[in-house]
Amino acid sequence: MANVKVYSLFTDFDINLFQAGKHYKLYEKFGSHIATVDGIEGTYFAVWAPSAKRVSVIGDFNYWTEGEHELNVRWDSSGIWEGFIPFVGKGNLYKYKIESHNNGIKTEKADPYARRCEHPPKTASIVWDDSYKWKDAQWMKSRKKHNALDAPYSVYEVHLGSWKKHVEENRFLSYYELADELVNYVKDMNFTHVELMPIMEYPYDPSWGYQITGYFAPSSRYGYPEEFKYLVDKLHQNDIGIILDWVPSHFPEDAHGLGFFDGSHLYEHPDKRKGYHQDWKSLIFNYGRNEIKSFLISNALFWLEQYHADGLRVDAVASMLFLDYSREDGEWEPNMYGGRENLEAIAFLKELNEEVYKSFPDVQTIAEESTAFTGVSKPVILGGLGFGMKWMMGWMHDTLEYYAKDPIYRQYHQNDITFSLAYAFTENFMLPLSHDEVVYGKNSILGRMPGDEWQRFANLRLLYGYMFTHPGTKLIFMGNEIGQYNEWDFQSSLDWNLLDFKPHQDFQAYFKALNTFYKSHPALFEKQFDHDGFEWISYDDHQNCVISYIRKGNKSEDIVVVSCNLTPTVHKNYRLGLPTKGKLVEVFNSDAAEFGGSDVKNKKTIAITKTSWNGKNYSAKVTLPPLGMIAFCIKA
């Protein structure tokens, strides 16, 4: 126990809260913290290892020697080991060497609370602190309006390592470089938010970040923690929100990670039927263990507090909710009531969302959840899980399947494209066309579209026009906005060279204009989760393959009339039923020449007559462009 002082950050620590799973700022106590004790600078270490017989800090300061710096176990049976090591400071490498009471098993672990990790494939933790001075006060003060459920919400999903690479050096762009290039691009394209695929430290590039070992450390692939704060800061200074992909559903078995941490199943559930994911070959957190709930909720709050994140997209929620997820009969055990629901995980998710919204009422949690589980985005007090939004996976599957069909067959499948409105308001839905839809042989979104090149781009414009006028918030994966031909490859940059060609230039211009159109019309977002914000004009014109509907804002005059022609045939003198008199004014047309379309447009104003149609008292005759989405406002 040489050179370890008995010193504690836990003097004001409520051990009962920790053991009850109610301590939500564990990062203030656990991990490594630079401190001065008796006038000597050094580092305080604390780790939870209740099955340990002894714990040593090994590092580059003691030649990785076990026993040179042994920590002291606390007297309160909490399983917390702690101590102060003089002259150890910022930049020093370390791990915990743990000898277990369990048959003397020895493990060598990275710090679960480390603020920085070595660049993979190296695995040590790094003593770190930073004094970053935030400059996003204006955003933080007003961000509630940006993240509100009645605000425009157009999300650009990004994998930092493959969005763009340094051309000359063929390497990742740094957080600093991304703070210029990515921020400027997202602002120019008029997205409201960026969602980052997991940036918490992970060892294996092909996991895309979904196998995390450093839950409190932004990946060192792109730079230092304060450099990531700088990226977030720059986004906020440009009125762009940031959502972080967060993975509380599973973690990898890597030797330096959380698995079998102190020679026992400390973080993972000991029963493999609840503690092991066969699909991902990874371990599942023990949601019934209170200290694990404290760890995970503390981690969620850490990114919201320390890194000013505006939201968390929670990965693989469906796998958490059901005990039989991806399991055959005999591979799972029913809950105490004989059901398939994971009651411990459900309780954890409710507690997570309650605490997030209590501490940060101006952020959002978003569930990636693909089942019919009810109440995912309903408040906990009303019996829900308490998420702000839920991914609309059914819409995504039906839409992509429909648009892949040759238009000649679409008249037989119109229900596929209209069915989503039967349940669109049962949850606060986000419409996702994410990274999962452009990998593993599924093809790119453009690559799924039928027809020649002109028709493929027209279909693509139509698809996104339909998406952005459909109720719900929006998410698209990087590259979708330029008409990427190839599937996404995490090892390569997006195919930015496509922008040398006019069809891709035109499509990028279309997407920029679509974002602007969406953001500038309250009818498209103010009631995006409310029945009152949507009204069908016609969903049953199978013969012409046309669907038409009305989107409504809070003010009676905020109305957008939308019609989608899902065939390459121009429909002239097409009659639309309308709810009021006045004049129709075309405000958006996906077939415009500047977007690469055939430029079939309507005259500046169209008279609305008192002719009943589609169950409405008024109507007007319009021209519908081929494979086009067209939008109108009604003027007095």
Q: Are 162 and 489 in contact, with CB atoms under 8 Å apart? A: yes
We find that the CATH architecture of domain 15-126 is Sandwich (2.60)
**Element of type H or E holding 46:** strand 40-48
- Spatial distance between the Cα atoms of 59 and 564, rounded to a whole number of angstroms: 63
Query: Which residue type occupies 237?
Result: Q
What is the average pLDDT value for the chain, to the nearest integer?
A: 96
Q: Are 542 and 548 in contact, with CB atoms under 8 Å apart? A: no
Query: Each residue of 526-565: pLDDT tens digit?
Result: 999 999 999 999 999 999 999 999 999 999 999 999 999 9
Query: Each residue of 42-98: pLDDT tens digit?
Result: 999 999 999 999 999 999 999 999 999 999 998 888 899 999 999 999 999 999 999
pLDDT of residue 41 exceeding 80: yes
- Spatial distance between the Cα atoms of 386 and 36, rounded to a whole number of angstroms: 42
Q: What mean pLDDT do residues 246-261 have? A: 97
Q: What share of the chain is helix, strand, coil (3-state, %, to 5)?
A: 30, 25, 45
- Spatial distance between the Cα atoms of 552 and 559, rounded to a whole number of angstroms: 5
Three-state DSSP at 293 gives: helix
For residue 12, name the pLDDT band (cuts at 50, 70, 90): confident
Query: 3-state SS string over 7-53?
Result: CCCCCCCCHHHHHCCCCCCHHHCCEEEEEEECCEEEEEEEEECCCEE
The CATH H-level (homologous superfamily) assignment of domain 531-635 is: Golgi alpha-mannosidase II (2.60.40.1180)
Query: What's the confidence (pLDDT) of residue 200?
Result: 98
Residue ranges of the chain assigned to CATH 2.60.40.1180: 531-635
- The residue from 68, 82, 233, 315 that is catalytic is 315
Query: Which residue type occupies 223?
Result: G
Q: What is the chain's Cα-based Rg?
A: 27
CA distances from 81 to 7, 36, 271 (A): 11, 19, 26
pLDDT of residue 4 exceeding 80: no
Residue ranges of the chain assigned to CATH 2.60.40.10: 15-126
Tokens describing residue 459: 């279909």
Query: What's the confidence (pLDDT) of residue 2?
Result: 55
Q: What percent of the chain has pLDDT over 90?
A: 94
Query: Each residue of 114-166: pLDDT tens digit?
Result: 999 999 999 999 999 999 999 999 999 999 999 999 999 999 999 999 999 98
Query: Each residue of 306-348: pLDDT tens digit?
Result: 999 999 999 999 999 999 999 999 899 999 999 999 999 999 9
594 classed as catalytic: no
Cis peptide bond upstream of 121, omega within 30: yes
pLDDT of residue 277 exceeding 70: yes
- Sign, CA dihedral 278-279-283-288, equals negative
pLDDT of residue 1 exceeding 50: no
Read off the DSSP letter of residue 613: B
- Spatial distance between the Cα atoms of 13 and 20, rounded to a whole number of angstroms: 13
pLDDT of residue 6 exceeding 80: no
With a CB cutoff of 8 Å and minimum separation 6, the contacts of 30 are 46, 47, 48, 80, 112, 113
Read off the DSSP letter of residue 79: -
- The residue from 157, 291, 344, 368 that is catalytic is 368
CA distances from 525 to 149, 153, 241 (A): 8, 8, 17
Read off the DSSP letter of residue 589: E
Q: What mean pLDDT do residues 240-256 have? A: 97
Q: What mean pLDDT do residues 31-51 have? A: 95
Query: Each residue of 556-599: pLDDT tens digit?
Result: 999 999 999 999 999 999 999 999 999 999 999 999 999 999 99
Three-state DSSP at 402 gives: helix
With a CB cutoff of 8 Å and minimum separation 6, the contacts of 232 are 136, 242, 307, 308, 309
Tokens describing residue 284: 């599942």
315 classed as catalytic: yes
- Spatial distance between the Cα atoms of 6 and 347, rounded to a whole number of angstroms: 37
